[in-house]
Structures are given as structure tokens and as C-alpha cells.
């Protein structure tokens, strides 16, 4: 009988574990900083040479280790952070697996020096490729210094995967920044080939963020602070003017641990939907705190992923916290009353009632020809020929001047930024050119009216449902099997956004009413578009989640595209209605609504500076 199976020697199992934990210099640094933080360090310095390939050194002033512990720490599954099964359910430290030190030591030339504060001397241990070469006493300041030289010297295959020193140093910088943001109370320095990448003193989160991300990224930040049902969310999020094309500036932490979590990211992006463009990402530093029994961090060796016990509760709490801030933050650039904290009061009940009343009253009124009209959009050839520009105020302003719905008339409304602009005129029938102090402000009138329409639809939803318009001649629609099923399944929800669809046998349905704002246009096409959007969704919850996107689609059908001359009154009306909306910086598709050119920029063009 042959024996095929053997238990692998520990040096080999450590190397295998290193494959998971240690991908590149930055991952070594992440593990070592985690250890320093777990050791209560208040000052951590990182030094690297050649992107960390030649040298990584982390020095901390934490509680250090005794000689025995220092030796033990290099054993696999040796940890001071958990002891029993039940500890695994309540992890309060960043580490707990007892894998990092032996893994790193098995793939490098490694030196650990550590001293407890009440011990007159420290211990130094030299390890090479996982084998302890020397242990001796050493003089040093209290704390721990770990030096990793020639990472992957004994795994040439891994070495090949490392990128240039600059790239690796970049990853190291990102990692240190992420960790520095998570602990503003800890001082960090990071030096690469003698050059200082980061040096931050102990401070508060806001300042720390500015130091880690740069002033530009943090010029327009809004505080988030919310707690409820056991989930606390704090931190800062950017206004839509500060966006990035990657998620690199999205710093999300769960119980102090940096994570890249799908649920968390989705919730953030959901809150920003309609505020920023698709494919763009905000700058955020969000700290989500929840009972450790609610989250499992033991999902992946790098601990970048987590699993929530109540995933949707976390998702919804986070989304709601962000939406609250976005809704009430006067984030528009250059607004004099702008403040960083989410201090604006929520729309008052009276304000909402007014919207509801205005909406209801307008239902009873005959539709004005100049309300949101998509004729030109539906028939591109028509553009410009019938300049029935959307009275930007839409249905709620139909009753002017009897019940003017202006920002001034709305309780709590401010003299808005857009109303305060002085209009210079219209450019190319598509842009409104204005002056604000010494700035030139250009507004895309189509994006603006789409934004206004979208926001009005949202307000109507809030006030009980999108206003609908019954069709004089109901239209019959032939649908596919799946579309018919969707129309049936989401009948109530569709009614909530203004559509009335009645089954008429087989795959035929009758379209009896459409959202009022989009009435007069190709209702069938809109319904098909909406059903197309719904085809991905299975539940009412998913419908609610898709709501913004559905409203954006209705808004898109509700406004005029292309060239549209506007008179002065229409221009100022549009500006006023932009102030009534919360998010006017981008259209529902995320394209910018307006652009500012400063006097300085103009002077530069004319070489006056």
C-alpha cells in the first residue's frame, strides 16, 4: 500500500497562506499597520525603498511584545486577539487570524524588533524565508519595528507580477492614506526612497481627509451623521461637483475597517443616482458602525470583504443617511450661504402640502399647450419649428399668476442661486448665458429643464404619486409575453408613477393614462421604455429602487430637446424653477446643467494676466 498523502511542512503552508494575504508590498503594509493600530499605536511610520520590493519598514509606538510573544507571533495561527469560538463572533480588532507575520516572514528577509514599555530592552528576531536565524536582545524605543527586505526573494513567480517601483509605491501610498483616514487620532508618515509621501499629525477627520486626498477633493464636503436601528453612519460625502472616474476616493469603513463592499458601494451610488453621472464616483469617507454580531469579517484573508447579517437593513440605512444629506445640502458652488454641515432644515410639511395642493389643483385644470412638451424630441425633424418651450414651471406652475409657485412663495425657500443670476441672454437657442458677480455662468437649458421636470416628478411621488393625465382616446398596445406580465405585476406601482394600463385580453393592454408631464407625446413609446427598464426587476422593492431611473426616463420624455429660443420671462422662469429643485447641478443622466467661467479664466484667454 502506498502512502500518497503527507502533511505539509509549516514553511510551505506559510508560503501558501502568504499567497492569499501578501499580494504586493501594499498588502504587507496593510497587515503591518493593522497590527500597529491593534497594538494601540498613536504614531506609525512607514518607509519603503524601490516601491517596497527592496525594503519595507514599519515603526510604531504601540504596546510592543515580550520576548516570548515575539517568538510566538511568528507561528501560524498565533494571535493575542481571539481565544475562543465565541470571540470570532465579536471581533473588535483589525486582525484575528494570526497569519500575517508568519506569512510575510516566509516570503522575505524579515526582522522583528519589539519592546514593551516597562521592559528595559527589546527583542530582535531575524527570519529568512520563514526560518528563524537569530534571536537576541536589543536596545530600542518602546514599540515595534518590522523590517521586510527583498519581498518574494524566494518566490520568483510572485516577483514577476510586481509592477514598477512607482506603481507599487502608489499602491502603498493609497493603503497608508486609507488607514490614515480611518484613524485621524493617529499620526502617520510614509516615506518612499527618501521622499515623503504623507505626513499627518493627529487631527480630526475633515483635516485628515484633506491631507490624504488633497484640498480639491475635499473642498465641497458635507457631514453625514445618522443612527438608527443599531446602525450608525458618520463621515463626509462630496457634493456632485467633486467626482472621480474611479472608486479610489470612496473610503468606506465598517467598524473601523476599510472595506470594498458591494452592498455598501451600491447604497452610496444609489443615493447619488441622478446627482452625478453614470460611471462617476463621489469622494466619500463613511464610517459604518454596527454590532459586531451583525457583520462577519472572516470572509476573506485580506478582510476587504464582509458579510452582513441583515444586508438590506445596512444598505437602506446607508442610502437614507446619504440621501438626507444630499437633499438638504446647499452644495451648489459659490452659494454664499453654503455650509459644510447638513444644516438646512428638511422641506417643511407645509411646503410639501403646498406642492400636493398645487399638483392636485392642476389636475383639474385644462392642460396648457406650453407645459412640458416633447414633440420636438419625438420628431427630431421638428426641432425648432414649434418652439413650445416647456414652461419650466411645469404643471405646478400652471396657475400663475393666481397661485404663483415661486421660490419666494415657498415657505423656508431662500433667494436661490439661479434666480440671483443676471441674464445676459441666450446662446444658440440652447444655452442661457448669465453673470454672477465676476463669473460667467452658462446653463444648458435642456439639461436644466429635464432636471427640473425630474425633480418635480420626485416631489409628486413624495406627495402621494405622479400626476397622471387620462387620455381622451386610450391607446391599445401589443406587448410581448414578458412585457404583459410586467404590466400586470407592476400595475399598482405603475399607477403610482402615472400610468394606467388595463389588460385587454392576450398580450394587448389599453393605455388609459400617462404621467401628466409627458402627456401629449408618444405615450406608447414611453410605456415601452418603462417596461424595458422593468424587465430586469422582479419585486416591488426593486421597482422602488429603480424609481429614480424611471422618473428620469419620464422627465426625458417630458422636455423639449434641441434649439429653442426663449423670451426673457421664460428664461427667468426656468432659473427660478431650478432653485426650487434640490439637485440642479446635473441632469438626471448626470450631465452638467451649468458651467462657470471665472473672470480670471477669461482674462487668461485674452492674456491680460
With CB under 5 A as the contact rule, the residue among 17, 21, 29, 35 that binds Mg ion is 35
**Residue 338 is a binding residue for ligand ADP (CB under 6 A):** no
489 CB-near residues (< 8 Å, 6+ apart)? none
556 vs 572: CA distance, rounded Å: 22
**Residue 182 is a binding residue for Mg ion (CB under 5 A):** no
Cα angle vertex 481, ends 479, 483, to 5°? 55
523 vs 521: CA distance, rounded Å: 6
The least CB distance from residue 156 to ligand ADP, in Å, is 25
Question: Checking DSSP bridges between strand 307-308 and strand 295-296, what pairing results, if any?
Answer: antiparallel
- Residues 541-580 within binding reach of Mg ion (CB under 5 A): none
In the 3-class helix/strand/coil scheme, how is 465-520 assigned residue by residue? CCCEEEEEEEEEEECCHHHHHHHHHCHHHHHHCCCEEEECCCCEEEEEEEEHHHCC
Chain centroid offset of residue 160 CA: 34
The least CB distance from residue 141 to Mg ion, in Å, is 21
With CB under 6 A as the contact rule, the residue among 100, 181, 463, 556 that binds ligand ADP is 100
224 vs 239: CA distance, rounded Å: 12
**Residue 95 is a binding residue for Mg ion (CB under 5 A):** yes
With CB under 6 A as the contact rule, the residue among 79, 106, 192, 484 that binds ligand ADP is 79
Choosing among ligand ADP, Mg ion, none, which partner's interface includes residue 274 (Cβ < 5 to 8 Å by kind)? none
* Closer residue to ligand ADP in complex, CB, 63/489: 63
| Site residue total, Mg ion (CB under 5 A) | 3
- Residues 5-34 within binding reach of ligand ADP (CB under 6 A): 31
Give yes or no for a contact between 559 and 402, defined as CB atoms under 8 angstroms apart: no
**Residue 587 is a binding residue for ligand ADP (CB under 6 A):** no
Residue of closest CB approach to ligand ADP: 95
Whole-angstrom Cα Rg for the chain:
30
* Closer residue to ligand ADP in complex, CB, 142/387: 142
**Residue 100 is a binding residue for Mg ion (CB under 5 A):** yes
Choosing among ligand ADP, Mg ion, none, which partner's interface includes residue 81 (Cβ < 5 to 8 Å by kind)? ligand ADP
**Residue 39 is a binding residue for ligand ADP (CB under 6 A):** yes
- Residues 221-250 within binding reach of ligand ADP (CB under 6 A): none
- What is the maximal distance between C-alpha atoms in the chain? 99
195 CB-near residues (< 8 Å, 6+ apart)? none
The least CB distance from residue 120 to Mg ion, in Å, is 27
Choosing among ligand ADP, Mg ion, none, which partner's interface includes residue 191 (Cβ < 5 to 8 Å by kind)? none
Give yes or no for a contact between 550 and 497, defined as CB atoms under 8 angstroms apart: yes
**Residue 390 is a binding residue for Mg ion (CB under 5 A):** no
Binding site for ligand ADP (CB under 6 A): 31, 35-36, 39, 60, 62-65, 73, 78-81, 95-101, 144
- Which chain residues interact with Mg ion by CB under 5 A? 35, 95, 100
Amino acid at each position: 500500500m502506498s502512502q500518497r498523502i503527507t502533511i505539509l511542512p509549516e514553511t510551505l503552508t506559510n508560503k501558501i497562506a502568504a499567497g492569499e494575504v501578501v499580494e504586493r508590498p501594499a498588502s504587507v503594509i496593510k497587515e503591518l499597520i493593522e497590527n500597529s493600530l491593534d497594538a494601540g499605536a498613536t504614531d506609525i511610520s512607514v518607509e519603503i525603498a524601490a516601491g517596497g520590493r527592496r525594503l519595507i519598514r514599519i515603526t510604531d509606538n504601540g504596546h510592543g511584545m515580550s520576548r516570548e510573544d515575539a517568538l510566538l507571533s511568528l507561528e501560524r495561527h498565533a494571535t493575542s486577539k481571539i481565544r475562543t469560538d465565541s470571540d470570532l463572533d465579536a471581533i473588535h480588532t483589525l486582525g484575528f487570524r494570526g497569519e500575517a507575520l508568519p506569512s510575510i516572514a516566509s516570503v522575505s528577509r524579515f526582522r522583528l524588533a519589539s519592546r514593551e514599555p516597562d521592559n528595559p530592552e527589546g527583542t530582535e528576531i531575524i527570519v529568512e524565508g520563514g526560518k528563524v536565524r537569530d534571536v537576541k536582545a536589543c536596545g530600542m524605543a518602546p514599540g515595534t519595528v518590522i523590517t521586510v527586505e527583498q519581498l518574494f526573494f524566494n518566490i520568483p513567480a510572485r516577483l514577476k507580477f510586481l509592477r514598477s517601483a512607482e506603481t507599487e509605491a502608489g499602491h502603498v501610498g493609497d493603503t497608508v492614506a486609507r488607514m490614515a483616514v480611518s484613524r485621524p487620532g493617529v499620526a502617520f508618515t510614509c516615506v518612499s526612497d527618501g521622499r515623503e509621501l504623507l505626513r499627518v499629525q493627529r487631527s480630526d477627520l475633515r483635516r485628515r481627509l484633506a491631507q490624504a486626498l488633497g484640498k480639491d477633493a475635499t473642498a465641497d464636503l458635507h457631514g453625514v451623521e445618522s443612527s438608527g436601528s443599531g446602525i450608525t453612519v458618520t463621515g463626509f460625502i462630496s457634493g456632485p461637483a467633486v467626482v472621480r472616474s474611479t472608486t479610489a476616493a470612496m473610503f468606506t469603513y465598517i467598524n473601523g475597517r476599510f472595506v470594498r463592499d458591494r452592498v455598501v458601494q451600491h447604497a452610496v451610488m444609489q443615493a447619488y443616482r441622478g446627482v452625478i453621472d453614470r460611471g462617476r464616483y463621489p469622494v466619500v469617507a463613511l464610517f459604518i458602525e454596527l454590532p459586531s454580531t451583525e457583520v462577519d469579517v472572516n470572509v476573506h484573508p485580506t478582510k476587504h470583504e464582509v458579510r452582513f447579517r441583515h444586508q438590506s437593513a445596512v444598505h437602506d440605512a446607508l442610502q437614507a443617511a446619504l440621501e438626507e444629506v444630499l437633499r438638504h445640502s446647499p452644495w451648489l458652488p459659490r452659494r454664499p450661504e453654503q455650509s459644510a454641515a447638513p444644516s438646512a432644515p428638511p422641506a417643511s410639511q407645509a411646503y410639501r402640502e403646498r406642492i400636493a395642493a398645487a399638483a392636485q389643483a392642476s389636475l383639474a385644470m385644462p392642460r396648457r399647450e406650453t407645459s412640458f412638451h416633447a414633440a420636438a424630441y419625438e420628431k427630431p425633424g421638428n426641432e425648432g419649428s414649434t418652439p413650445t418651450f416647456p414652461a419650466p414651471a411645469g404643471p405646478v406652475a400652471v396657475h400663475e399668476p393666481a397661485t404663483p409657485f415661486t421660490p419666494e412663495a415657498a415657505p423656508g425657500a431662500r433667494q436661490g442661486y439661479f434666480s440671483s443670476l443676471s441674464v445676459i441672454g441666450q446662446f444658440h437657442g440652447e444655452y442661457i448665458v448669465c453673470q454672477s458677480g465676476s463669473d460667467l455662468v452658462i446653463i444648458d437649458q435642456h439639461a436644466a429643464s429635464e432636471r427640473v421636470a425630474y425633480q418635480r416628478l420626485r416631489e409628486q411621488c413624495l406627495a402621494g404619486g405622479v400626476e397622471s393625465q387620462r387620455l381622451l382616446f386610450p391607446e391599445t398596445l401589443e406587448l410581448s409575453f414578458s412585457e404583459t406580465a410586467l404590466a400586470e405585476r407592476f400595475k399598482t406601482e405603475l399607477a403610482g408613477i402615472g400610468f394606467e394600463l388595463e389588460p385587454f385580453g392576450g398580450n394587448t393592454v389599453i393605455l388609459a393614462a400617462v404621467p401628466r408631464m409627458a402627456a401629449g407625446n408618444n405615450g406608447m413609446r414611453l410605456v415601452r421604455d418603462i417596461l424595458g427598464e422593468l424587465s430586469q426587476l422582479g419585486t416591488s422593492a426593486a421597482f422602488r429602487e429603480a424609481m429614480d431611473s424611471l422618473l428620469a426616463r419620464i422627465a426625458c420624455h417630458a422636455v423639449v430637446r434641441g434649439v429653442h429660443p426663449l423670451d426673457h420671462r421664460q428664461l427667468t422662469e426656468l432659473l427660478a424653477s431650478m432653485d426650487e429643485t434640490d439637485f440642479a447641478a446635473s441632469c438626471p443622466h448626470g450631465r452638467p446643467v451649468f458651467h462657470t467661467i471665472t473672470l480670471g479664466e477669461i482674462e487668461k484667454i485674452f492674456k491680460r494676466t
